[in-house]
Structure 1
């Protein structure tokens, strides 16, 4: 697994061009006390609600019936927190509750609802809500929220039509341009990204650090490292304050280009920044140093992180374990894992998976199984990622029967937990290749039956089942009946093959 994709996609949120960064999260201001909302019991009640159909209204009404006040700024704080954790349906219900109690929504509240409706019910619903607003509520905020929805869905024609309307109304801002730049970047239209940045300059629209990072990413996509470096020089010339995420973004670009010396130089600049107190900055450093095979940098920053923060949380250990695994330092990896395991208050299976994955890649199956036993002793349960790692190991070692045991475990867990699970395409292909090459009819039959129980059978798997039967000479009238009874669509190629090898019943 590529550690960089896992770690840096979240760590470098200020430097990436993801459209979700341009949501309306900061439209409505909240007081400093709202920052503490996680500590309140009302927030705990709300955040504990499961699924999208959790009774937010009932929870709020119950709170009020207990004689406790609910202040508007606190609710907005809760909404922003719920959005952060992607509990969009619950956030909408909070807005509905505010409105039903006769409290007037601000323009920022309307903008938030547009964003939430797009995520929960689709952009058409968000558009309908925008159109239903009074003209006085169609402001820079609400127009901007709808523009962001269009950009996220890559609806280029609607984006440009709305942008022109915003220009007419003089609602165009830095945020609107950032939306457009991200859209063009996502569509691979890099020249248009550059044109938009130039247009901002000509119109004296402020270009912030996000704009410059988007420009850097655009040049990076064109493999134009000189262009990336020109942007950095321009930032310095314009007096733009370069934050840690920009240096991390620059280092990421150098890593992708294979220029590890320059990447390390950028990371050194990041380390030298004054008052570095952001945990994510330390995690970005660890992840990126590992990608440049700089073990000294990894260990140095790990010590700095533990010194800067009194409590080392699970997510920090996860990044460090992935870094040590990437470096291939098994001794340090095991030591770090044991340090975490001995002190953790919440057991996170993902950390155990890193160690298991490293053992399996080294062919150390016994050590991997011992970690699995330790998981059970802690009262935890292997997740699907864990099970697939063992499947993959045994398949690559030509031991499909042992791999099938883990398929059975996964299928049992799906039924017991009523959860969704689909075997990854990579693991599925390994199973199918193994069965077809060895004409293993019994194996593919067991595999098919296990996946059929949890509705995980697709055309490709069914085709493989039939091809394995054909290769083994096991097609008969009973098999024909099964083909009809199962009612699963075969590919046209497999249908023709069946017609050639046997007579229709």
Structure 2
């Protein structure tokens, strides 16, 4: 109740109109008025709060069985849902299969749909297609088709998405607004704007229900064509037509503000942001504030951004995860100066650090903007306070040093990163980075340093035996004019240069078109 009271106080600080407030009040959405299914606290702690890194979630569940504990279907479904929200897709998939093996339930269409989504994210679209074909016909409902369609949207496969939509039409599953919005999103993301407009006309002819995601798609299409008048008309329609006004949620106005800002019409962007604030509700509280903060900062309204930050902080005592979410959101939208202010506020609260979790976000931003002095300053301050750099830390420093052609520091960063990389971990330095480093070592005649690095890369399975041998031979052949990138060619397909991160972020201006 204390948190609810603080949130109500915070909402009073946001702009309101009496007409809008009646629709967008501060009461929680109806779905939250029903008692949720809770995961037992001790089990929640073991899985989500302080999981043993050596134990899989399935192992933890098996231990519960050995302790003669009963786990209901609803509790397990809740665990899967929370694992998905935490982006732990592989663990969620393991729990899904484990439930089947234990004979927990007669599978429902929703269970197949959830597993289909998880397989696509963990194993790829081809595995998902195979699984979809294995679903019994009587359980392969519109929900499953919608999920497969959305999987094609994620990988931006227009041909397959259109084919599955044709099947859905034939089966009578194509009238769902969700499915239509998925196709609109795909056309927008692949810049098929003409197809998107034709598709919208078809939706109108077939009287398909428009919702806030549909209007978001329409605004994005206008913005992509720099059609300011089109955005103006859509917003006017949302405000003037009672049948559509309830779809004018905060996200629709945030997307409009984003386009106005990109097109340099800052007064309209400002007005749209104010209207977005009016329409905020509890459901998107944590998502909306960082988005709006950054957009205010982008159009030169830093005081508005800091006002929202002060409101955001009213949600009780902010945890590290709250600061991390805001900083990450702001950085993803390009607000590095605003992120710096929030980061420094967070940093000042601590005399000791155990890791670089939040610092990594700023180091990455500075490194990618070529400001290695600022990145190094954060690194050094954190080291002095006891923080231990992670693989991610060294990986981002490596990228920054390569960009600045500071190869001596790049070599050291690469060695530190590889030393922390566990065998089988899904990280590889970019082939261009490796090539630049080996060219540097060979140019300086540092055979010993090169050999040590080659052995280190091999020990972590980051290069193959074949490439190991080629690199050794290439280093010894002082007459060779072959470039290191050609020597590394055999393993280039394996190298991403990235540590995997969540594939989508609700702070993105297009979020309301991506999360339905």
Q: Same fold (TM over 0.5)?
A: yes
Partner of 2:76: 75
Q: How far apart are the structure 2 equivalents of 1:301 and 1:228? A: 25
Equivalence map 1:373-412=2 (5 Å)? 373-384=380-391, 386-387=393-394, 390=397, 400-412=407-419
Q: How far apart are the structure 1 equivalents of 2:99 and 2:355? A: 38
Residues 409-460 of structure 1: CA deviation (Å, up to 9, x unaligned): 2333336x7745433578669768x959xx9434798468636632567999
| In the alignment, structure 1 residue 247 sits paired with structure 2 residue 253 | yes
Does the CA-based 8 Å contact 1:392-1:430 persist in structure 2?
A: no
Partner SS for 1:349: coil
- Tell me how far 1:177 sits from its aligned partner: 0.9
Partner of 1:8: none
Decide which of 95, 115, 137 is 1:135's aligned counterpart: 137
Q: How far apart are the structure 2 equivalents of 1:330 and 1:84? A: 24
Residues 320 and 82 of structure 1: is their aligned pair in 2 closer, same or farther, counting only changes over 3 Å?
A: closer
Q: How many correspondences in the alignment?
A: 447
- Tell me how far 1:326 sits from its aligned partner: 4.5
Residues 204 and 157 of structure 1: is their aligned pair in 2 closer, same or farther, counting only changes over 3 Å?
A: same
Partner SS for 1:341: coil
Deviates more, 1:216-225 or 1:315-324: 315-324
Equivalence map 1:257-406=2 (5 Å)? 257-273=263-279, 278-316=285-323, 319-320=326-327, 326=335, 328=337, 332=341, 335-341=344-350, 347-351=355-359, 354=362, 365=373, 369=376, 371-384=378-391, 386-387=393-394, 390=397, 400-406=407-413
Does the CA-based 8 Å contact 1:322-1:354 persist in structure 2?
A: no
- Tell me how far 1:104 sits from its aligned partner: 0.9
- Tell me how far 1:398 sits from its aligned partner: 6.8
Does the CA-based 8 Å contact 1:287-1:320 persist in structure 2?
A: no
Q: How far apart are the structure 2 equivalents of 1:136 and 1:59? A: 34
Does the CA-based 8 Å contact 1:34-1:74 persist in structure 2?
A: no
Residues 194 and 429 of structure 1: is their aligned pair in 2 closer, same or farther, counting only changes over 3 Å?
A: farther
Q: How far apart are the structure 2 equivalents of 1:96 and 1:51? A: 20
Does the CA-based 8 Å contact 1:360-1:393 persist in structure 2?
A: yes
Q: How far apart are the structure 2 equivalents of 1:133 and 1:375? A: 51
Deviates more, 1:228-237 or 1:440-449: 440-449
Q: How far apart are the structure 1 equivalents of 2:272 and 2:32? A: 35
Does the CA-based 8 Å contact 1:144-1:176 persist in structure 2?
A: yes
Residues 158 and 309 of structure 1: is their aligned pair in 2 closer, same or farther, counting only changes over 3 Å?
A: same
Partner of 2:112: 110
- Tell me how far 1:219 sits from its aligned partner: 2.3
Residues 266 and 82 of structure 1: is their aligned pair in 2 closer, same or farther, counting only changes over 3 Å?
A: same
Q: CA RMSD, aligned part only?
A: 4.6
- Tell me how far 1:174 sits from its aligned partner: 1.0
Decide which of 174, 179, 196 is 1:176's aligned counterpart: 179
Does the CA-based 8 Å contact 2:370-2:400 persist in structure 1?
A: no
Q: How far apart are the structure 1 equivalents of 2:156 and 2:366? A: 39
Partner of 2:217: 214
Partner SS for 2:166: helix
Residues 63 and 395 of structure 1: is their aligned pair in 2 closer, same or farther, counting only changes over 3 Å?
A: closer
Q: How far apart are the structure 2 equivalents of 1:86 and 1:220? A: 31
Does the CA-based 8 Å contact 1:79-1:94 persist in structure 2?
A: yes
Partner of 1:5: none
| In the alignment, structure 1 residue 235 sits paired with structure 2 residue 247 | no
| In the alignment, structure 1 residue 44 sits paired with structure 2 residue 50 | no
| In the alignment, structure 1 residue 197 sits paired with structure 2 residue 197 | no
Alignment TM-score, normalising by the size of structure 1: 0.71
Deviates more, 1:304-313 or 1:392-401: 392-401
Partner of 2:90: 89
Q: Which has the higher contact order (CA 8 A, sep 6+)?
A: 2
Partner of 1:24: none
- Tell me how far 1:163 sits from its aligned partner: 2.3
| In the alignment, structure 1 residue 475 sits paired with structure 2 residue 479 | yes
Partner SS for 2:105: coil
For structure 1, the 5+ residue unaligned runs are: 1-28, 492-505
Residues 231 and 70 of structure 1: is their aligned pair in 2 closer, same or farther, counting only changes over 3 Å?
A: same
Q: How far apart are the structure 2 equivalents of 1:284 and 1:448? A: 48
Alignment TM-score, normalising by the size of structure 2: 0.70
- Tell me how far 1:204 sits from its aligned partner: 2.0
Partner SS for 2:421: helix
Does the CA-based 8 Å contact 1:287-1:323 persist in structure 2?
A: yes
- Tell me how far 1:300 sits from its aligned partner: 1.1
